[in-house]
Amino acid sequence: MNAALAVWLTPKRLLAASVVVALVTITLKTLAWWITDSVGLLSDAMESLVNLASAMFGLLMVTIAARPADDDHPYGHHKAEYFSSGFEGILIIVAALGIVWAAVHRLMDPQPLEQLGWGLALSVLSSALNGLLAWVMFRASREHRSIALEGDARHLMTDVWTSVGVVVGLVLVHLSGWLWLDPVVAIGVALNILKEGVHLIWRSSQGLMDEALEPEVQAGIEQVLAGFVGATAAIRFDHVSTRRAGQRRFADLHMHVPGQWTLARAAALRGRVELALMHAVPGLRVTIQLLPSDVEAHFFDDTETPT
């Protein structure tokens, strides 16, 4: 994505656009269900309602995440995005269960479908809108490292595949005359979006549990540190730990320097290491503890007693 365009397409703007698109697709899909009486199209419309709720909640969480650090939240509010992703996953699961409930009832009492042409056209149009927005949001989520954007994009793509499944099912119903295919397709769609909901909840839970940075990012950090060790053999680094919090990334480590170095010299080198790491990994906040070369740090968890 073009850098200038990525800067303009902020998570807040894209989630606001998602709210607008959700309103449009709800209108189109509800109209498609009303003129066809297809439970498959009803399931599609129900998922669009979830799209609206999740986009609104995501917009709220992204707004909170953008707040600067304060006395009560010295590390910022970045983790608010994980609540958005988790909430979206829960809504997806609820929608899936609602779709199954409606489909089972229709399976027990099949009903003829009407005006399929118009219903399919409206469904395809709404899917095209969702697919375009999801494509833009996926690319922007990588630029901004936003799990809220990624979650909404995944949900929109799930909606697209839902619509594809429904359209295929309705075409088969029209060609075969088998009315039971309509609710069966709806159940299949529900199971698919149920899987996506579980995935989103898992992703958000890992973020809230301070998941480490991606392996490729950690490799980049190790490469920068190795470069400093190669240039100054007297130093070494250890106890490197990383974590993610929304768009923000954190790294903590120890830098061991010769004991005879002055504090000014050691601090100047630490500053260069911090700048190099932040340049290599955008959005990284680094904390480096200085230690003499012959001193090792000790860590204890809640079950251990220092001796």
List, for residues 190-203, the tens digit of each pLDDT value.
Answer: 787 788 778 778 87
The answer as to whether 221 is a domain residue is yes
Q: Which residues contact 196 (CB under 8 A, 6 or more apart)?
A: 89, 92, 154, 155, 158
Q: Which residues contact 165 (CB under 8 A, 6 or more apart)?
A: 40, 185, 188, 189, 192
The answer as to whether 81 is a domain residue is yes
Do 233 and 257 fall within a single domain? yes
Which one of 177, 208, 239 terminates a domain?
Answer: 208
Which one of 208, 230, 249 terminates a domain?
Answer: 208
Which one of 188, 208, 228 terminates a domain?
Answer: 208
The answer as to whether 300 is a domain residue is no
Least confident span in 89-103, 125-139, 233-247: 89-103
pLDDT at 105: 72
pLDDT at 3: 52
Do 44 and 149 fall within a single domain? yes
The answer as to whether 306 is a domain residue is no
Alpha helices by DSSP H, the chain: 3-8, 11-36, 39-65, 80-108, 116-144, 147-176, 181-208, 215-231, 263-280
The answer as to whether 199 is a domain residue is yes
Residue 137 pLDDT greater than 80, yes or no: yes
What is the distance between the alpha carbons of residues 10 and 290, in angstroms, rounded to a whole number?
38
Do 65 and 152 fall within a single domain? yes
Do 134 and 237 fall within a single domain? no
Do 180 and 50 fall within a single domain? yes
The pLDDT-based confidence of 277 (bands split at 50, 70, 90) is very high
Domain that holds residue 248: 215-292
Say which CATH number the domain at 112 has.
1.20.1510.10
- The DSSP-derived string for 189-221 is HHHHHHHHHHHHHHHHHHHHTTPPPPHHHHHHH
Structurally, the chain folds into a number of domains equal to: 2
> Per-residue pLDDT tens for 26-75?
888 888 878 877 766 776 677 677 777 777 877 887 788 778 878 887 77
The answer as to whether 301 is a domain residue is no
pTM of the model: 0.58
> Per-residue pLDDT tens for 282-303?
878 899 999 998 877 765 555 5
Say which CATH number the domain at 274 has.
3.30.70.1350
> Per-residue pLDDT tens for 209-264?
777 888 888 999 999 999 999 888 889 999 999 987 766 788 999 999 998 999 99
Query: Around Cβ 217, how many Cβ atoms within 10 Å?
Result: 18
Do 45 and 87 fall within a single domain? yes
Mean pLDDT computed over every residue of the chain = 79
Do 18 and 106 fall within a single domain? yes
Q: Which residues contact 261 (CB under 8 A, 6 or more apart)?
A: none
Residue 265 pLDDT greater than 90, yes or no: yes
Do 93 and 139 fall within a single domain? yes
Do 258 and 111 fall within a single domain? no
The answer as to whether 63 is a domain residue is yes
Residue 271 pLDDT greater than 90, yes or no: yes
Do 286 and 192 fall within a single domain? no
Least confident span in 78-82, 121-125, 293-297: 78-82
Do 279 and 164 fall within a single domain? no
Residue 6 pLDDT greater than 70, yes or no: no
The answer as to whether 27 is a domain residue is yes
The pLDDT-based confidence of 156 (bands split at 50, 70, 90) is confident
Do 246 and 171 fall within a single domain? no
pLDDT at 115: 63
Q: Which residues contact 215 (CB under 8 A, 6 or more apart)?
A: none
The pLDDT-based confidence of 305 (bands split at 50, 70, 90) is low
Distances (CA, A) of 112 to 30, 54, 183: 18, 33, 12
In the chain, the percentage of residues whose pLDDT exceeds 90 is 17
pLDDT at 1: 53
What is the distance between the alpha carbons of residues 270 and 287, in angstroms, rounded to a whole number?
10
